[in-house]
């Protein structure tokens, strides 16, 4: 399972995503959103193609490599880069079904959430311990289904609006 083609392709795209997020300071809003709207659909696709896995061992909590400080630094850099384009209205938030009030979200938080999970996954995979790699894959798949897959899609929708906005000229910024 951990050496199957689809798993290795997912690992490759996860690494590319993490590299993009870690290099946020090197991009303009336009160049970052241009790259993000290309890699996020690929990441989603590769996650859906992962082989079926078992369940996590109950007493096996994977090691966390992305600390809260790292998460906050990533989130802050993304928010700083995106500036006024960071916030968007969340349409899939559970509170929306019971409220007439819009729920605001930020691209920076959603991308940092995805980065945290994938950064931990990649770090565990790099250990080259097959048992650890398998547990990391299982955890990543579970988190994709329950948590970050929807965040990826919501962030992509917001990034698409920024990247292809007609009311501003992002290519100049």
SS3 content of the chain, % helix, strand, coil (to 5): 70, 5, 25
Look at residues 75, 158, 80 and name the one whose alpha carbon lies nearest to residue 114.
75
Q: For residue 112, what pLDDT band results from cuts at 50, 70 and 90?
A: very high
pLDDT band for position 60 (50/70/90)?
low
The whole-number pLDDT of residue 126 equals 94
Cβ burial of 70 (10 Å; 0-12, 13-18, 19+) is middle
Strand segments, DSSP code E, in 17-169 are 87-90, 103-106
- Number of compact structural domains in the chain: 1
- pLDDT category at 34 given cuts 50, 70, 90 is very high
Per the structure, the complete domain to which residue 148 belongs is given by 5-172
Predicted pLDDT of residue 95: 55
pLDDT of residue 7: 97
Model confidence at 59, in pLDDT bands (50, 70, 90)? Answer: low
Task: Name the one residue in this structure whose structure tokens are 């962030």.
Answer: 155
Quote the percentage of the chain above a pLDDT of 90.
Answer: 77
CATH number, domain of 125, equals 1.20.120.1550
Q: Mean of the pLDDT values across residues 74-99?
A: 83
Q: What is the pLDDT of residue 74?
A: 98
- Range in 19-28, 44-53, 91-100 with the lowest mean pLDDT: 91-100
pTM over 0.85: yes
């Amino acid at each position: 399972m951990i050496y199957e083609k689809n798993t290795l392709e997912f690992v490759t795209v996860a690494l590319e995503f993490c590299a993009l997020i870690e290099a946020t300071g090197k991009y303009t809003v336009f160049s970052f959103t241009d790259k993000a709207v290309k890699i996020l659909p690929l990441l989603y696709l590769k996650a859906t193609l992962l082989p079926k896995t078992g369940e996590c061992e109950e007493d096996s909590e994977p090691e966390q490599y992305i600390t809260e400080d790292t998460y906050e630094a990533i989130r802050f850099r993304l928010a700083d880069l995106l500036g006024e384009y960071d916030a968007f209205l969340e349409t899939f938030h559970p509170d929306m079904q019971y409220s007439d009030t819009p729920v605001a979200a930020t691209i920076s938080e959603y991308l940092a959430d995805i980065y945290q999970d994938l950064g931990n996954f990649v770090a565990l995979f790099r250990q080259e311990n097959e048992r650890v790699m398998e547990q990391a894959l299982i955890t990543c798949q579970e988190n994709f289904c329950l948590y970050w897959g929807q965040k990826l899609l919501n962030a992509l929708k917001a990034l698409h609006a920024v990247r292809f906005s007609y009311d501003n000229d992002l290519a100049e910024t």
